Each structure stands twice: as C-alpha cells, then as structure tokens.
Amino acid sequence: MGQKTKYIFVTGGVTSSLGKGIISASLAKLLQGRGHSVTIQKLDPYINIDPGTLNPYEHGECFVTEDGAETDLDLGHYERFLNINTSQANNITTGRIYQNVITKERKGDFLGKTVQVIPHITDEIKRCIKILGNEHNYDFVITEIGGTVGDIESLPYVEAVRQLKWEMGNDCVVVHLTLVPYLAAAGELKTKPTQHSVKALLELGVQPDILVCRTEHKLTKDLKRKIARFCNVNPEAVVESIDAETIYDVPLLMEEEKLDCVVMDKLGMSTDPKNADLTQWHRFLDRHKNPETTIKIGLVGKYIELKDAYKSIVESFVHAGAENGTDVEIVWLHSEDINDSNVANQLSGLQGLLVAPGFGERGIGGKIEAIKYARENGLPFLGICLGMQCAVIEFARNVLGLDGAHTTEIREDAAEPVIAIMEDQKEINKMGGTMRLGAYPCDLKEGSKAHQIYRHLEISERHRHRFEFNNKYLADFESKGMVASGINPDNQLVEVVEIPNHPWFVGVQFHPEYKSTVAEPHPLFVGFVKAAGEIGKSLV
C-alpha cells in the first residue's frame, strides 16, 4: 500500500492470562480482513534465551517456526488466526536482548562506554521491535508485551514503548488490556483495578490510547464513560472484551466493539464503513459450532494437567473437526497411568488415539502399551514425534521380537543389551547438533496412506526432536509390515511410518500441529479425524 508501517503495542495489567495474545491476533485478523498486511511479535520478559529449555509446566507449549526458532505459544495463535508464517524475529526475550547487548559490548561496539539499561538495553529492544517493519513491507506490526505492568521484568519494555511513542508520533498506539471484575457480593462490576493499572502505566510515562476491558458481564455506557474519564481516553476507546465461548469468537466480538476502527482512527487512517471481510472465518465458526457428529479421541501425554502443553494439537483438532463437520472430544490420558493390565479399559469407547510429543523416559511405558492396543485392535492411530518413536519401538519389540529395542539415550545404563531403534542424530548423521529444528522437506511414497492424505509427493514439515530412526533396521520393519512412507530427500532420514494392513496407523517424526490454521486445517489431522469418525466408530 506504500504507507509507512504503523506500530501497535498491546500491554496488560491487573493480572496475567487476560488474553493479550488472542486480542492481538483478533485485531490483526480484523486489519487483515480490511486488506492490510499485518504481523505480530511477542516480547517475553523472562531471562531464558528462548522457551526451548522450559518445562511445559512452566510456560506451556514451545511453538516452532519455519526457520527453526523455538518460541512462545502465542505465535501459534498468530499463525492460526492470520494463516501467515512467523519467524525468529517474532519472539524476543529478555535473555536474547541482554545476550545481544553483551555480545556487542565484548566486541567493543560501545567504544568503552558504560553499558546501561537506558540507553543500551532499551535501544536493543527498540531495534528488535522495528526489525519486522524495516525488513518487510507490513502495514501494521503488532507487538504484544508479556507479563503485566508493574512487573520488574517488564520495565525496560514499557520504557522502550514510552520512547517509541515520542519518536513515532501518530504512527504508534498503545492498547492496554485490563480487568473489570464482577464482585458477586456487591452485585456490580468494579473499575478500580483498571484505574490502578492505567495509573501504574502513567507513572512509567505511557498513556494508553485504547483500553480493552476483560469482563464476565456487559459494560454499560455509564461504566465505559467512567473508565474513560478516570483513565484519560475517549469513551469509544473503551472496548469491552467479554468472556467468549471459544477463542475464535473474539475477532467477531472485537469487530462489534469496532476495535479495528478505533485503532485506525488513532493512527490517523481512514476506515471503510464496511466491516472487515471475515467470510471464511464465519464459515469456519458455523461448522465448528454446528457439528453433525461427535467423536472421542484419546490424547496420551505426560503433561496433560496443563492443557496449554498441547495447545497446537488441541487447536488442530478444532480445525480438522470443523472441516469434517465433527465435534472432537479429547479424552486426556496420562501416560504414567496406563499399563498392560488397564490399557483396554483406559482406551475403551475411543474412536482414535493420538500419542503426543515429549522428551525423556517418564511415561514411555504407557505410551507403548497404548500404541500396542491401537495396533492390535485396528484403532485409528496418529503418533507425533516421540509418539512415532514409541510406535517403532513397540513394533520392534512385539512384532520383530527385539526385546531390547529403545533409544540410545533412554536405555544407556540398562543392564540388558540395548537395540537402538532410535539414535541420537548427532551420532548417526554427524549433524553437529542435538536438535533438528524448523522446516525440512519430505518425499512421500506414491500410493501410501501419507500420499493419499497430503495429495502431494513432496511436502515440508516442521521438526523439534533429537532422535532419528535407525535405518539399519528399516528392511526388517518393512518385511514385517511397517513401511517408511516419508523420507527426507537430503539425508534419507525416516519421516513417516505407517502400517498398510491396519485401517489407519500413521506415525510422523515432525510436528504437523504447528502448521494447522483456520484457513488451512492440516491434512493429517483432517484425515485422522475422518478415519476416527468412519473406522473408529465401527469399533465401539
């Protein structure tokens, strides 16, 4: 469009988990629906370089981008809503900011000056914020700042925003997401937490332009006027964000509140009186909310107490369910609770089984028992990453008779001999690293189940794993009925396995859930949900 990139900052106050990521993605969707190019980035205040080493219980799922960046799970929301790829530049942490500054200091870039939070840390934050706008032709860059206003960790980010507001003038707005709680005893909504949150932001030199108020009840016009008066914003800039049935309702709720129009007005941009074009979005929501059938799919994992640990998988089922006109009910199964004596009872009533990704030995036994049950009973099965690895180990043990089948790491100190069905890629491929991250190509076997699912012979999928199938056992596997239907063309690593004489049994080394979006549900999940509805229902 030839216009200067506009910057939108989304901050949060009062409490965490108000939904800054969903609000950011929803605003981006509305602007995109008006024909604008939009991207979103997340600034995380923690000192880790990235979430790659964080336990899922700490921070939920680690989302992986096409270029191999291990990032915050909010980037998954951005991609699912906008149907565009994010990158390393879309997620910045305090750890990375300080790492960059210290590296520059060691190289002498600061010419012997004392390195300080202001200007050196804040300048680096500003540089990272502007990367996407400077290197790409975006109309809008939305920047979500993690944490809440008042946190020590967030102070340098808020200071950077304060400086950018002065430097950019009308090309920059701040959206502050806050809470308007309902006190049942008093029977009313309370605005004081929002007032204090804005006051805390003002004390740091930032006047929010727009307030998005999370609430369980409708905000009256009088309440909006009261908030506007005490927080120095226009009444139309007080936007209600009421609890929604699904996250996919939020763009429509924000459209009703005219959030996109208010933002564009604050940025000095004219707005078409017509609403954003969300035709496809409405179609998806209609199918999602009005399913023709319901199926139950078991998800076997070891972090199931925190559903965010499998966020992309859950949303992939939402997309695939809508595509199939099916409501997918996920039955959460802890891998440590499954054993050979209770597996049939645990999996009874299911139409499909997904064994989830993970790291480490904990819960491996339960995953293997669940896979054995699915293989022997014709239950539609999808194994992702560690789920695929467990599938080949189960097959090696129970079909090939290789009792010691395992991975080199997990059984390194075992008393019995270890048959390394999965090996550390650093050892077998001399890659020099311990992880395969990001997008890699895969050639599919013509006529295979994978080929039928993807309808292409050449695909690309994202990876996040350490172990690879040991190809010296491949001939033995294929002679007994488990075939490699997907191979990396560059190094012949096995990417997909399947059992042709099973109704639907597929294991993939990569993470298909990272690429599923509202506009383009992932074909593996679409095929799996369809099989569960057709094949799985006949088993119950």
Q: Which amino acid would we find at residue 222?
A: D
The yes-or-no answer on residue 446 being catalytic is no
Q: What is the DSSP letter of 57?
A: H
Per DSSP, the three-state class of 342 is coil
Residues 320 and 385: their CA atoms lie apart, in Å, by 19
The yes-or-no answer on residue 451 being catalytic is no
Residues 339 and 370: their CA atoms lie apart, in Å, by 8
End-to-end CA separation in angstroms for the chain: 56
Closest CA to 284 of 519, 25, 22: 519
The yes-or-no answer on residue 463 being catalytic is no
Structure tokens at 228: 């506007």
β-bridge pairing 494-498 and 483-487:
antiparallel
Q: How many CA atoms lie within 13 A of 156 on its CB side?
A: 23
Q: Rounded to 5 degrees, what are φ and ψ at 400?
A: -85, -15
Q: Rounded to 5 degrees, what are φ and ψ at 539?
A: -85, -20
Provide the 10 A C-beta neighbour count for residue 438.
20
Residues 335 and 304: their CA atoms lie apart, in Å, by 9
Residue 397 to residues 161, 390, 404, 441, 447: CA-CA distances in angstroms?
Answer: 57, 10, 7, 30, 28
Catalytic residue among 62, 385, 390, 442: 385
| Active site positions, annotated | 385, 511, 513
